[in-house]
Amino acid sequence: MKKGRPYRDPVVFEELVCAFCRGRGRDPFDIMSSLSTCCVCGGSGKVLVQAPAVACAHCQGTGAVKTLTCTTCGGSGSVSRPLQPTVSCSVCKGSGDDASAPAMACLKCRGKGWIIEQLRKGKRVHE
Ligand SMILES: [Zn+2]
Ligand SMILES: [Zn+2]
Ligand SMILES: [Zn+2]
């Protein structure tokens, strides 16, 4: 019988105000109609993001790129950050934007502005 930590840590979600509609639950850009519900939160005004949540770089936490839902965070304005060490994306310099088309997410980091640190394989072995 083993005691101690569970096999997997439970997934924790943070409840955040929907960035796309700013918690109003309505389509902020009246794309369908001013009465249509926000496609991100389904009208609840809140979104759940896996903890720890950090602001999305691509939309700067607004959930929208121009009038479109941000493809990086799905419109919530936040993305969950992995537990692994991350480094700033060298392609977009952390902005999350594609250099040729700022409305597009950076292909390398997928708009997050950071990537999981890749430990390079080399001849030297850690420890
Ligand atoms: Zn919403
Ligand atoms: Zn975003
Ligand atoms: Zn990038």
Q: How far is the CA of 24 from the centre of ligand 3 (A)?
A: 30
Q: What is the pLDDT of residue 49?
A: 96
Q: How far is the CA of 117 from the centre of ligand 3 (A)?
A: 13
Ligand nearest to the CA of 88: 3
Instruction: Please report which confidence band the pLDDT of residue 116 belongs to, taking 50, 70 and 90 as the band edges.
Output: very high
Q: What percent of the chain has pLDDT over 90?
A: 72
Its pTM stands at 0.82
Ligand nearest to the CA of 62: 2
pLDDT over 90 (residue 89):
yes
Instruction: Please report which confidence band the pLDDT of residue 119 belongs to, taking 50, 70 and 90 as the band edges.
Output: confident
Contact status, residue 81 vs residue 52, Cβ threshold 8 Å = yes
Task: Tell which residue, 36, 76, 25, has the closest CA to residue 55.
Answer: 76
Ligand nearest to the CA of 103: 2
